[in-house]
C-alpha cells in the first residue's frame, strides 16, 4: 500500500500539472449596473459619473486585463443570463423578457394596442418538452463534463419555479448557493435575514444564508464569503473551476451598504443615489476580495476573471434619484431600452499570459459570445449542444485587441412591454453594424438611424439622410429575425403579428 | 498535446482504480422514526407494528447487510446529530437538547422547580469562541480533507441561525441541499412549496427546492432526486463520496404521502397514523431508490449504506393517534425519554465484501460511535480533532458480529425539560452496562434498575433487589458525567445545581 501511495504521488504529478494547465474561470456578473456606474472610464472621456462612483478594484482589474468599451447585453436580465448559458441571441432563444418567479406567468404589462408576443416566459430548460421554455445544453453542463468544478453563487433567474431551469443543479452546476427562480433579493440586509422574516417572507427572500441572519453582513459580502468557501475543494485538488459569481447587487431594492453609505451622503448625493453608490462600491469590494483570495492561494496567474453586467443601469424614477433616463449619460436611457444606455455595459477580462495588461478593445461584442468564449478558454472543443450557437468567441480579441470586424451584425429584440413606454423601451428591435445602428419601433414602424462614432448619445436620427443604410440594416435585421422565428407582438385590432421592419 | 492526452489516459487508470478502493459511504438518517416503525423486526418477535408498517427496502438492506438490534441514539434530534458530527457523547458536547432556529434561544420549557442547565443551546460550531456552542472538528471536514466528496441533503439542525454551525459548508460539506438551522419542514408538500407561501412562510420552509414548487412531489422524494443528482460528479470522476442523506421524514408535521396514504386508511388506521405510516413508506421508497441508483451506476459493490434514525418514535398525543407512550412497544415511552422507546433505534449497515449479508449483532452501540466508524470505513487514520472522541468504532462488529463487549458503558444525559413530564422524559440520566440499565431521576433522586434481557419494556424496577448494582452503575455514571462536566439543572429554591446520582 505504501508503495502504491509513493507511486501515486509520482503518477499524479503530471496529471495535476495538466489539470492546472486549464485556467480557472470566474464570471463576475453584476445585476443592473450601468456603463457609467464606475470610476473606470469606458468612454473616451472621464464623466461626472466616473467621478461619483468608487470602484478601485474594477480599475485594478482593468490595469491587469483588457477593457471592452463596446460590450453589449440585452435590455433586461433574464435574456442576458439565458444567452450566456445557451450561446443564443435573445431573439433566437425567445426568452426576450424577464421571467416571473412563478411559472406560466408572462411578465408583460397590459397594453391597449398589442397582445403579447409568444415568447418563452418560463425561461431556459435543460430538459425537453417543458412548455414556454427554450431547450438547450447549458454552458456549465459542458464545462462540468469536460472536468471543471462548476459553482453558482447568487442570482440565477434562468427559469420559473416548478420548472427544471429554476434549479442550477440541472444546468450543470456542482454547487449552488442561493440561486433559484427569483430575480432580486427581498433584502440585502443580514439584519433582515435577507427577507426571511416569518409572516413577511416573499419568494424573493434569499436562501442558504442562515449563517448571516441577524448580523450586519450585507448580501454582497455574504455571497462573496460563500463563494470563497466553495473554492476550497477545486483549489485543494487542483481541479479547474468555473465560478459564476452572480451578485444580486446593484438591483433594487436599493439599500445602504453600511460600509460605504456615509461617504456618499457626505459627498452630497441624495439618499437613494447614496444607497446605489454604496451598493456599487460593495460590489467592487467583492471583486477585490476575490482577486486578493486568488493571490493568497497562488492561483491568480492561472485564473481568468471576467467582469460583466447583465443590462444597462436602471434609470426610472423614483426607484432612482434625480431625473429619469439620465443615469447612463452620455448614453441614452437605461435598463429596458434598446438605446445604448440599456444595453452597453462595462466589461473587463483578465487572463494572465494571454491578455496584455492595461489594454482595451473597441470592437463590439454581445453577451451570447460568452458561451463559445468560455468554452474556448476552457479548451473544450467539439462539444455538442442541442441548440445552434449564435455567439462568436472573443478570445481572438483578447490576443489581439486591434482585430476589428466592422461587418459583424449585432441584434437586439424586445417585443415586450416591460414598464410604461420610455425612450427605447418596449416593442423595439435594433441592429448594429460598424458604427451604424438602426432602431425599429414596432408601435408605429418608425426606423431611426444613428452613427455611434459621432453620436454615442443617439440624439440625431440620420434615417432621412441615409435611406440606403436604413434599407440595408432593416433588411439584415428582418431576415435574421425571420430565420430565428423571433416572437412579435400581436395587434389587437387585427389579430395579426406585427410585421418585421422590412415589411413596414 | 494529443500524446499527453493518451499518456494521461494510461496514467489516470491506476489512479482512479485507487480512488475507487475507498468505499463510498451513504448515511441514510431518518428523523423521529422509532424502533418498531418498520416491517423489519428488530426484536426477537414480530410485533403488531412490524405488521402495520411496510418497509420492503429496509428488509432488503437487512438481507444484504447487518442489523443492529441494540443501536442507540439520544432522546431528541440535535444531540444525536452533533454526536455524529463530533464523536462526543451528548453529556460531553453539552448540546443536550434540540437547538432553536434562532440563536441565543434555549428551548427548555419553563419549570417551577428547576432553572435550566447551562447547556450549549446554540449547537455545534466548527469555529472557536462562538458562545453557547461546542467547538469541534466535524466529521465531513476530515472526510473532505482526506479526499472524499462530501454531500449533505435534507435536515441539518446542527446550530442556530447566525452561527457558523448553521451552514453545512462550514462543517466540511462540499455540497449542501436544503440543510440549515431548522429541525423540521414547514410542509412536506410540493403543492405548498414546502412552506414557501408568501405571507405564511416561516423559518421552517424548506430551501433550495424551487424546481418542485407547485408539483405533487413529496419532500422525501424531492430530496431523494436531489441527492441522486448530487452524486453525478463523484461518480463521474470516481472520487469516493460521503452522502449524508438526512430526511425530514418522519418528523411532524404529519402529512399524507399521497403515494401510500390510501393503503393505510384502507387498512383501518386513523388519519394521523395513516399519514405517519405513509411517511414511513415514502422514506423506505427513498432508500430503495438510492439502492437501485447505486446498482444502475455499478457502484453498489463499493458503497456502504448505513440506515439510522436520530431518536425514538414520537409518542405524544394528539400529535400521534392512539394512546400516548405506546408507539414503540414493546419498548417503553418514545422520543424525549431515556427509556428504550426514546433512544433505541433501527440501524442497518450494508458493506459489500465486509459485512456478511443477512447477519445481525446484539452488541449495543451508541450514536457517537458513528464518527470513528465512518472514518475507519474511509481509511482515514491519524486524524486530528480539537475535541476528544468518546465513540468507539463498530467496524470490528461488522467483521464479527459475535464480538460482544458486555463491560462497555453507554450513557444518556438529558438535564432539560423538553415537553411536560412523561415516562422517562425530562431531567434524567441513564447508563447501560451489559444487560443492566440504571435510570436516574433528577427531580427526586430516584434510581431505577432494569434488566433489559429479561425486561425490554423496563416495567420491573429491580433497584431494591440489587443495591450493589445500583451503587456501581450510579458511581460509573456519576464519575463519567463529572469528568465530562455534564450540565445539570439548578434547583430554584437553593440556587444550586442538582448533584450527580452518587451524591443522592
CB-based contact, B230 to chain A, within 8 Å: yes
Q: What is the DSSP string of A240-295?
A: -EEEEEE--TTSSSP---TTTHHHHHHTT--HHHHHHHHHHHHHHHHHHHHHHHHH
Those of residues 302-361 in A touching chain B at CB distance below 8 A are: none
Closest-CA residue of B relative to A4 is B18
Residue A179 near residue A246 (C-beta atoms within 8 A): yes
In a domain? residue B446: no
- Encode pLDDT of B267-284 as tens digits: 999 999 999 999 999 999
Task: Report how far residue A108's alpha carbon sits from residue A166's, in angstroms, rounded to the nearest whole number.
Answer: 20
In a domain? residue A450: no
Nearest C-alpha neighbor of A333 from the set A251, A421, A270, A247: A421
Rounded to the nearest angstrom, the minimum Cα separation between A114 and chain B is 30
- Encode pLDDT of A49-96 as tens digits: 999 999 999 999 999 999 999 999 999 999 999 999 999 999 999 999
Q: What is the arithmetic mean of pLDDT over A138-163?
A: 98
Q: Which grid cell sits at B67? A: 442489523
DSSP state of A499: P
Residue B194 near residue B205 (C-beta atoms within 8 A): yes
Per-residue pLDDT band for B20 (boundaries 50, 70, 90) equals: low
Give the pLDDT confidence score for residue A504 in this predicted structure.
82
Task: Point out the residue among A147, A174, A214 whose CB comes nearest to the CB of B161.
Answer: A214
In a domain? residue A321: yes
Would the CB atoms of B162 and A215 count as touching at under 8 Å? yes
Give the pLDDT confidence score for residue A240 in this predicted structure.
97
Nearest C-alpha neighbor of B473 from the set B389, B393, B407, B390: B407
Q: Of B198, B206, B210, which to mutate for an interface test with A (greatest number of A Cβ within 10 Å)?
A: B210
Task: Report how far residue B52's alpha carbon sits from residue B240's, in angstroms, rounded to the nearest whole number.
Answer: 38
Give the pLDDT confidence score for residue B13 in this predicted structure.
38
Give the pLDDT confidence score for residue A20 in this predicted structure.
55
φ and ψ at residue B21, rounded to 5 degrees: -60, -30
**A1: how many CB neighbours lie within 10 A of its CB?**
8
Those of residues 182-201 in B touching chain A at CB distance below 8 A are: 193, 196, 198-201
Q: What does pLDDT average to over chain B?
A: 95
Rounded to the nearest angstrom, the minimum Cα separation between A350 and chain B is 25
Give B144's contacts in chain A (Cβ within 8 Å). 233
Task: Report how far residue A408's alpha carbon sits from residue A433's, in angstroms, rounded to the nearest whole number.
Answer: 6
Residue A241 near residue A231 (C-beta atoms within 8 A): yes
Q: Map grid coordinates 425567445 to a residue.
A: A94
Rounded to the nearest angstrom, the minimum Cα separation between A330 and chain B is 40
Q: Which residues contact A10 (CB under 8 A, 6 or more apart)?
A: none
Q: What is the CA radius of gyration of chain B?
A: 22
Nearest C-alpha neighbor of A417 from the set A121, A160, A202: A121
In a domain? residue A186: yes
Those of residues 18-77 in B touching chain A at CB distance below 8 A are: 18
Give the pLDDT confidence score for residue A128 in this predicted structure.
97
Nearest C-alpha neighbor of A53 from the set A251, A248, A285: A285
Task: Point out the residue among B149, B176, B202 whose CB comes nearest to the CB of A198.
Answer: B202
Would the CB atoms of B226 and A4 count as touching at under 8 Å? no
Rounded to the nearest angstrom, the minimum Cα separation between B282 and chain A is 21
Alpha-carbon distances of A471 from A408, A414, A463, rounded to whole Å:
17, 20, 9
Q: Which grid cell sits at B68? A: 443492529
Please determine, for residue B2, whether its predicted confidence score (pLDDT) is greater than 50. no
In a domain? residue B144: yes
φ and ψ at residue A36, rounded to 5 degrees: -110, 5
Number of domains in chain A: 1
Q: What is the arithmetic mean of pLDDT over B217-244?
A: 97
Give A210's contacts in chain B (Cβ within 8 Å). 161-162, 166-167, 180-181
CB-based contact, B238 to chain A, within 8 Å: no
Residue B481 near residue B413 (C-beta atoms within 8 A): yes
- Encode pLDDT of B283-310 as tens digits: 999 999 999 999 999 999 999 999 999 9
Task: Point out the residue among A11, A162, A167 whose CB comes nearest to the CB of B15.
Answer: A11
Q: What is the arithmetic mean of pLDDT over B366-388?
A: 97
CATH number assigned to the domain comprising residue B175 = 3.40.720.10
Task: Report how far residue B491's alpha carbon sits from residue B59's, in angstroms, rounded to the nearest whole number.
Answer: 48
Would the CB atoms of B11 and A8 count as touching at under 8 Å? no
Task: Report how far residue A131's alpha carbon sits from residue A397's, in angstroms, rounded to the nearest whole number.
Answer: 38
In a domain? residue B316: yes
- Encode pLDDT of A330-347 as tens digits: 999 999 999 999 999 999
CB-based contact, B161 to chain A, within 8 Å: yes
Q: What is the arithmetic mean of pLDDT over B83-92?
A: 98
- Encode pLDDT of A354-373 as tens digits: 999 999 999 999 999 999 99
Task: Report how far residue A119's alpha carbon sits from residue A413's, in angstroms, rounded to the nearest whole number.
Answer: 11
In a domain? residue A26: yes
Percentage with pLDDT > 90 across chain B: 95
In a domain? residue A413: no
Residue A105 pairs in a beta bridge with none
CB-based contact, B169 to chain A, within 8 Å: yes
Residue B288 near residue B57 (C-beta atoms within 8 A): yes
Task: Report how far residue A437's alpha carbon sits from residue A448's, in angstroms, rounded to the nearest whole number.
Answer: 8
Please determine, for residue A9, whether its predicted confidence score (pLDDT) is greater than 70. no
Percentage with pLDDT > 90 across chain A: 95
Alpha-carbon distances of A464 from A442, A454, A469, A470, rounded to whole Å:
19, 17, 10, 9
Per-residue pLDDT band for B504 (boundaries 50, 70, 90) equals: confident
Residue B413 near residue B486 (C-beta atoms within 8 A): yes
Would the CB atoms of B198 and A203 count as touching at under 8 Å? yes
Please determine, for residue B120, whether its predicted confidence score (pLDDT) is greater than 90. yes
- The range of the structural domain enclosing residue A192 comes to 2-88+116-379
**A134: how many CB neighbours lie within 10 A of its CB?**
24
Please determine, for residue A246, whether its predicted confidence score (pLDDT) is greater than 90. yes
Closest-CA residue of B relative to A148 is B233
Alpha-carbon distances of A470 from A455, A461, A491, B406, rounded to whole Å:
17, 11, 24, 93
Nearest C-alpha neighbor of B79 from the set B132, B121, B36: B121
Give B175's contacts in chain A (Cβ within 8 Å). 174-175
Give A193's contacts in chain B (Cβ within 8 Å). 161
Q: What is the arithmetic mean of pLDDT over B391-403?
A: 96
Residue B375 near residue B139 (C-beta atoms within 8 A): yes
Would the CB atoms of A210 and B167 count as touching at under 8 Å? yes
Would the CB atoms of B233 and A174 count as touching at under 8 Å? yes
Give the pLDDT confidence score for residue B21 in this predicted structure.
84
Rounded to the nearest angstrom, the minimum Cα separation between A299 and chain B is 19
- Encode pLDDT of B405-427 as tens digits: 999 999 999 999 999 999 999 99
**pTM for the structure as a whole:** 0.94
User: What is the SS3 string spanning B313-368?
Assistant: CCCCCCCCCCCCCCCCCCCCCCCCECCHHHHEEEEEEECCCCCCCCEEECCCEEHH
Amino acid at each position: 500500500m505504501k508503495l502504491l501511495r509513493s507511486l501515486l504521488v509520482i503518477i499524479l504529478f503530471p496529471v495535476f500539472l495538466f489539470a492546472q494547465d486549464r485556467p480557472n474561470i470566474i464570471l463576475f456578473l453584476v445585476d443592473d449596473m450601468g456603463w457609467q456606474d464606475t470610476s473606470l472610464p469606458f468612454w473616451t472621456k472621464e464623466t461626472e459619473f466616473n467621478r461619483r462612483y468608487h470602484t478601485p478594484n474594477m480599475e485594478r482589474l482593468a490595469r491587469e486585463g483588457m477593457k471592452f468599451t463596446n460590450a453589449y447585453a440585452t435590455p433586461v436580465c433574464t435574456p442576458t443570463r439565458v444567452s450566456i448559458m445557451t450561446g443564443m441571441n435573445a431573439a433566437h432563444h425567445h426568452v426576450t423578457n424577464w421571467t416571473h418567479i412563478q411559472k406560466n406567468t408572462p411578465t408583460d404589462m397590459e397594453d391597449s394596442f398589442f397582445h403579447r408576443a409568444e415568447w418563452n416566459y418560463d425561461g431556459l430548460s435543460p430538459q425537453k418538452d417543458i412548455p414556454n421554455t427554450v431547450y438547450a445544453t447549458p454552458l456549465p453542463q459542458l464545462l462540468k463534463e469536460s472536468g471543471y468544478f462548476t459553482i453558482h453563487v447568487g442570482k440565477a433567474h434562468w427559469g420559473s419555479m416548478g420548472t427544471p431551469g429554476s434549479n442550477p443543479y440541472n444546468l450543470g452546476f456542482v454547487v449552488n448557493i442561493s440561486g433559484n427562480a427569483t430575480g432580486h433579493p427581498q433584502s440585502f440586509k443580514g439584519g433582515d435575514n435577507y427577507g426571511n422574516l416569518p409572516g413577511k417572507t416573499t419568494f424573493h427572500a434569499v436562501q442558504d444564508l442562515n449563517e448571516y441572519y441577524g448580523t450586519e453582513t450585507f448580501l454582497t459580502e455574504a455571497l462573496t464569503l460563500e463563494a470563497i468557501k466553495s473554492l476550497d475543494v477545486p483549489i485543494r485538488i487542483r481541479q479547474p473551476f468555473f465560478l459564476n459569481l452572480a451578485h444580486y447587487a446593484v438591483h433594487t431594492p436599493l439599500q445602504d451598504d453600511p460600509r460605504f453609505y456615509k461617504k456618499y451622503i457626505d459627498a452630497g448625493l441624495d439618499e437613494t443615489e447614496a444607497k446605489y453608490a454604496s451598493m456599487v462600491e460593495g460590489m467592487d469590494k467583492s471583486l477585490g476580495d476575490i482577486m486578493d483570495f486568488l493571490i493568497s492561494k497562488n492561483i491568480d496567474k492561472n485564473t481568468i476573471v471576467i467582469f460583466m453586467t447583465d443590462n444597462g443601469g436602471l434609470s426610472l424614477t423614483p426607484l432612482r434619484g434625480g431625473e429619469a433616463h439620465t443615469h447612463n449619460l452620455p448614453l441614452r436611457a437605461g435598463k429596458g431600452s434598446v438605446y445604448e444606455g440599456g444595453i452597453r455595459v462595462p466589461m473587463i477580462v483578465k487572463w494572465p499570459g494571454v491578455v496584455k495588461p492595461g489594454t482595451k478593445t473597441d470592437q463590439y461584442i454581445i453577451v451570447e459570445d460568452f458561451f463559445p468564449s468560455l468554452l474556448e478558454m476552457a479548451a473544450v472543443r467539439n462539444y455538442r449542444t442541442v441548440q445552434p450557437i449564435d455567439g462568436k468567441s472573443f478570445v481572438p480579441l483578447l490576443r489581439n485587441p486591434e482585430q476589428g470586424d466592422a461587418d459583424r451584425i449585432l441584434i437586439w429584440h424586445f417585443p415586450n412591454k416591460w414598464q410604461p413606454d420610455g425612450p427605447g423601451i418596449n416593442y423595439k428591435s435594433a441592429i448594429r453594424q460598424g458604427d451604424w445602428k438602426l432602431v425599429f419601433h414596432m408601435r408605429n414602424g418608425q426606423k431611426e438611424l444613428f452613427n455611434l462614432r459621432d453620436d454615442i448619445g443617439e440624439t440625431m436620427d440620420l434615417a432621412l439622410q441615409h435611406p440606403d443604410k436604413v434599407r440595408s440594416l432593416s433588411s439584415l435585421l428582418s431576415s435574421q429575425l425571420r430565420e430565428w422565428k423571433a416572437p412579435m407582438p400581436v395587434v389587437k385590432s387585427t389579430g395579426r403579428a406585427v410585421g418585421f421592419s422590412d415589411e413596414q
